[in-house]
Amino acid sequence: MLPADPWQPATAVSGLGWCFFAAQGRRQVVILGKVQWGRTELRVEPTGLLVLVGLFSVAVNLLLLTGPVYMLQVYDRVLTSRSQPTLVALSVLAAGLFAAMGLVEHARGRILARLGAALQSRIEARVLSAAQTRLARQPEDAAARIALQDLDAVQRLWTSPVMAHVFDLPWCPLFLAILFAFGAPLGWLALAGAMVLWGLAVLTRSATSAASNSANLNHLRAEAQVAEMLRQAEGLRGLGMTGPASLRWKDRRRAALTALMRAADRAAAIAALSRILRMVLQSAMLGLGALLVLEGALSAGAMVAGSVLLGRSLQPVEQVIAHWHLIIRGQEAYRRLSALLASTPPAQDRSPLPRPAPRLEVQGLTIVPPGGDTPVLRSVTFRLEPGQSLGVLGPSGAGKSSLARALAGAWPAAAGTVRLDGATPDQFGPDGYGRLIGYVPQRLHLFEGTVADNIARLDLVPAPGAIISAAHRAGAHDMILRLPLGYDTPVSAQGGPLSGGQTQLIGLARALYGDPVVLVLDEPHANLDAAGQQALEEALLTHRAGGGIVILFAHQVAQVQGCDLLMMLDQGRVHALGPREAVLQQTLRPALPGLRAIAPGAGA
């Protein structure tokens, strides 16, 4: 009898994955996660170790016969012959076989643990990349947010004792066959008991599935909410929102715990019933065996051995039922990971391109925000040559930040193209395009690490000279030296000991690190004092003097005075585009509704 599939394929993706266990002669093969995208990403490697686990399972289950055979020989041979040497020889042999079984089982457990660790180590970077890609498209995707936790769940399943019992399940028919060899009544009793236990396993799944799914869903929501609360701790406290936010979090936690307890109660009840059933079956096996002994159809040794064999044949089923929550958790994690990896293929290796010339061409660019279906930017077209700068003005919600994200490669284009020296962003590779762009987002965040780490864009082996050069050009060097540890001052995602202006200058230095071709600056004047704004203007002039391109997004005309070209955005459309003075003269007329595009090919 084959075990129930602990990881069923995800129904959301046709033919996405499957798992089966098959006994073939003296080996057992387990295949996990066949993902039909040109490669099997969730399989366990190396397969040689997996085959070794199967061979060890053969040895363990054959050695499990030591106890029944020993009892059979003691009752039917030693007691009748009253031979002490035979008893000693059998006992020594049994002790040696039990010791060998313990060693083999220990080795099997260690290999399973290492297979799980190898799976996690091999695929974790791919899972992280897929999660980042998915979140860039769908920021609220819960499965992507917990992808690494799902990988941990699959790894824990491989290292848990239940996996060894799963490998033992295909050997239940062998023990049942031996019981049939002892006597047909014993075999039929064992088969009936096994079928009842399998029914309990199916009942466990149906009784706990809905509650487990509800618990997982509420747990994910609670985790997402508490993460947001921790990020916004300062604002929550300042606005007196800590109490209400905590109550909302507690409600979701309570819902998750209630569903979890409901699933646990049902699983515990069925597990207790399965244990009682196994004990009843063993007693019934002993009683039936005694009846057959009285009728002369069975020996006393076979009676005792049959009772032990029944326990051995039912133990894997009972253990699978007892650890059903691990299987359910692993199954759900496997489904989500399979769907995530299948929907987010790995980035293709690209031939390295030479450093592009600073020529940026945007043609018919339309942007739909991740997770949305309505364009926030429509048909934007312009071209910039080396040394040119473009100022982008418009009211809040006009689409300025959306355009900045698209130019930086953070948001994909729904239509149209962005080309840097003729190449699209994806042709430069996953990080290649980003290294050519100096991007300061509207909401600037630093990363856990030091000031130097943040300026160097988290490079593992940064060039100290490049870090200091970027800080000098951003006008941040003197400010950094005044920090407690200078460039080694630790900062957090919220900025740590830095003020808003200091954080902004470090963000500008990060954008300038590595001598990017294009600077995309979304409201870089925010939080800057007069000295900071002067440093910003000087940095932009220096970048343009070196042939670089500057695209500056702002709210005020005064902030784009140094730009050659000006674009006016409103409601996601370009209302004016051309030389700065011409656009300002046009848009400063009283008839603002009559704004029109000036020199649509400006910059061409």
Question: Of 293, 315, 342, which marks where a domain is finished?
Answer: 342
Q: Mean pLDDT over residues 330-352, rounded?
A: 81
Across 340-354, 406-420, 466-480, least confident range: 340-354
Q: Mean pLDDT over residues 477-498, rounded?
A: 85
Give the pLDDT of residue 9: 34
Residue 163 within a domain? yes
pLDDT at 193 over 70: yes
Among the listed residues 42, 49, 68, 36, the one whose alpha carbon sits nearest the alpha carbon of residue 124: 42
Rounded to whole angstroms, how far apart are CA atoms 399 and 394?
Answer: 8
For β-strands 415-420 and 490-491, DSSP reports them as: unpaired
Question: Of 342, 376, 394, which marks where a domain is finished?
Answer: 342
For residue range 397-419, list pLDDT tens digits in order.
888 999 999 999 888 888 999 99
For residue range 362-395, list pLDDT tens digits in order.
999 999 887 778 899 999 999 999 999 999 998 8
pLDDT at 341 over 60: yes
Dihedral angle sign, alpha carbons of residues 39, 40, 45, 51: negative
Residue 603 within a domain? no
If asked whether residues 329 and 385 sit together in one domain, one would say no
Give the pLDDT of residue 588: 62
Does pTM surpass 0.85?
Answer: no
Total domains in the fold of the chain: 2
Residue 348 within a domain? no
Residue 9 within a domain? no
Question: Of 281, 308, 342, which marks where a domain is finished?
Answer: 342
pLDDT > 70: percent of the chain: 89
Q: Mean pLDDT over residues 126-145, rounded?
A: 81
Domain encompassing residue 210 = 20-342
For β-strands 389-393 and 449-450, DSSP reports them as: unpaired
Residue 352 within a domain? no
Among the listed residues 518, 522, 527, the one whose alpha carbon sits nearest the alpha carbon of residue 552: 522
Assign residue 125 the CATH number of its domain.
1.20.1560.10
Question: SS3 letters for 383-419?
Answer: EECCCCEEEEECCCCCCHHHHHHHHHCCCCCCEEEEE
If asked whether residues 575 and 511 sit together in one domain, one would say yes
Across 10-14, 62-66, 399-403, least confident range: 10-14
Residue 14 within a domain? no
If asked whether residues 407 and 550 sit together in one domain, one would say yes
For residue range 251-292, list pLDDT tens digits in order.
888 888 888 888 888 888 887 888 888 888 888 888 998 898
Assign residue 412 the CATH number of its domain.
3.40.50.300
Residue 482: band (very low, low, confident or very high) from pLDDT cuts 50, 70, 90: very high
pLDDT at 3 over 80: no
Which has the higher per-residue pLDDT, 71 or 359?
359
Report yes or no: 210 and 13 within 8 Å, Cβ to Cβ. no
Give the pLDDT of residue 421: 92
For residue range 559-584, list pLDDT tens digits in order.
888 898 999 998 889 988 999 888 88
If asked whether residues 433 and 511 sit together in one domain, one would say yes
If asked whether residues 431 and 577 sit together in one domain, one would say yes
Give the pLDDT of residue 20: 29
pLDDT at 517 over 50: yes
For residue range 212-246, list pLDDT tens digits in order.
777 877 777 787 777 777 777 767 777 778 788 88
